[in-house]
Amino acid sequence: MDSAFQLANIRNLIIVSSYSAKKQYLKHVYPHNIDCIVLTKEEAKNYEGDFKIVFIGCFIEKFAKCENMILDDILKLNYLWSNEQYQIKWTQEMLASFLGAWFAQTKIRKMHNNFTNYYNSKNESWIKELIV
Amino acid sequence: MNINNIDFFSCHFEIENRYSEHNALNSDFYKERSTLGGWTISNRHPIQGFKRHAMVNLLPNKQINKAKIQDLQNIIEKTIKKYATNNNVILLSGGKDSTTLAYIFKKLNIPFKAISLYSDLSTTSERPVVQQIANTLDIKVEYYKLNTIPEYMFKYWIENPYTAKYMAINDLGLEDHTIFTGEIGTGEMQINQSLQYTAMMGYQPKDLAYWHVNVCGNYRRINSTKKLSDDSVYNECVEHFCNRFVEWDRHPDILNRVMFSRLQDEGAFRLFNYGLDSLKWVHPFAENEFIHMCVNMPSDVKGNKNLYRMMYPDLTDIPWRYPKSGLGIPTR
């Protein structure tokens, strides 16, 4: 399906370290958020442009100026702390949602807006206190 | 009312008769409407005992047409000239479709009033983008502020942008004008995710059928191809889109199937409410000849290719530089 690659407007990349990692990402996480392209670091070398990039288990210096996030430490929160209150118990769906929200921030930045009004209509919460 | 030829998107709900008040509400209609985020695809009606009749003509051809970009340009200009009067309105959203429409009107020297809606309460605003477009096209835009949309107007399908436009046209005293919209333009249908999925996973119509239901039902926020519910109405909706892909099997260009399998259903939803009022609405991009030619052209001229800029190389690229944020006006 190379022609689909040609037609898609690719803005969001997931870059993983190996072919087997790519296979696992496509199996476990990708079906929950398909608004991205998944590449191995070898495949990514052929790409040029301004992307939003999530690195997992690798980093490619040539993309350092693109907006990027290395996911490794964030995933590690799944099990790192002895105190459960500081853990984030990731599910595949949660991870897909988190990445989807991160990819979607371009709109807020370009339009110079925020979500203050959304939280105005919500009940009192510490999140509202942070944002409004 | 819709005054141009939009047969590929036409549908109607049966009119309730005098016994209607004795009939019960059809709860499955409302469940389905909720499942798809404001619209439906089955023949269900809000009142038990009545039906919706969907469009009969199908968009996909058995062959790919050999149309050229010039042919598209000729058809869209012919359509605009056919329906334009001395009193025209274009509703400028800041998106690709309405911007292209305004550009064509300017090119053809047809006078029009440009109206743009905005809300103080919206989380995002396209007003600065619209103003840049207005400056570039050298047109004057009248901005109409609307902070809430009354929910009681949604008898069948919930379509906030239509209701907002209707209120604006009436408040501004433009009821006697011919109103042009960019509805069902080539930038309309959300095709990028389905193309990316196909690039990664090959042609997977069943998965994309789940995605269609999930992405519509969650107001574009959940891009999942997984089954997200065991509800029978949810399953029916998935089955419907599977059947759409089967209908598209006759069309040889697989990527056209990927891009346009939801077009007729969602297009019917987008245009439906315009048909209920007495205003004169024209949707040139949904015109039979234009949409049929466009959909059945080889896929490689679509996707991320900028069809409008191929038609009009001088067209501003402003709407392509900004992400579309939508109207964002809350309902009351």
Chain B partners within 8 Å of A26 (Cβ): 200-201
- Is the pLDDT confidence value at B309 over 90? no
Chain A partners within 8 Å of B303 (Cβ): 6-9
A:B CB pairs within 8 Å: 102
B7 to chain A, minimum CA–CA distance in Å? 28
User: Could you state, in order of their start, the residue ranges of all structural domains in chain A?
Assistant: 2-131
Kindly determine whether residue A3 and residue B304, on different chains, have CB atoms separated by under 8 Å. Answer: no
Phi, psi of B232 (to 5 degrees): -65, -35
Chain A partners within 8 Å of B259 (Cβ): 7
Averaged pLDDT score across all residues of chain B: 89
Q: What is the pTM of this model?
A: 0.91
Q: How many CB atoms lie within 10 A of CB B19?
A: 9
Chain A partners within 8 Å of B223 (Cβ): 32-35, 100
Q: Which domain holds residue B154?
A: 69-187+267-321
Mean pLDDT of B283-312: 88
For the segment A24-58, what is each residue's pLDDT rounded down to a tens digit?
999 999 999 999 999 999 999 999 999 999 999 99
B/e letters for B57-95, b = 16+ CB within 10 Å, e = fewer, are eebbbeeeeebeeebbbebbbebbeebbeeebbbbbbbb
* CATH number of the domain where residue B172 is located: 3.40.50.620
For the segment B63-102, what is each residue's pLDDT rounded down to a tens digit?
999 889 999 999 999 999 999 999 999 999 888 899 999 9
Interface of B with A (CB under 8 A): 121-126, 128-129, 192-203, 207, 211, 221-226, 255, 258-259, 299-300, 302-305, 322-323, 325
- Is the pLDDT confidence value at A113 over 60? no
SS3 call for B325 = coil
Would B143 be classed as within a structural domain? Answer: yes
More confident residue, A31 or B330: A31
- d(C-alpha A37, C-alpha A23), whole Å: 13
Closest CB from B192, B202, B203 relative to A8: B192
In the structure, what pLDDT confidence band is assigned to residue A8 with cuts at 50, 70 and 90?
Answer: confident
Q: How many domains does chain B have?
A: 1
Query: Scanning every residue of chain B, which has its alpha carbon at the shortest distance from the alpha carbon of A1?
Result: B199
What number is the ipTM of this complex?
0.90
Q: Which of A5-19, B4-18, B236-250 has the highest mean pLDDT?
A: B236-250
Rg (CA), chain A: 17
Token pair, residue B157, equals: 């399908």
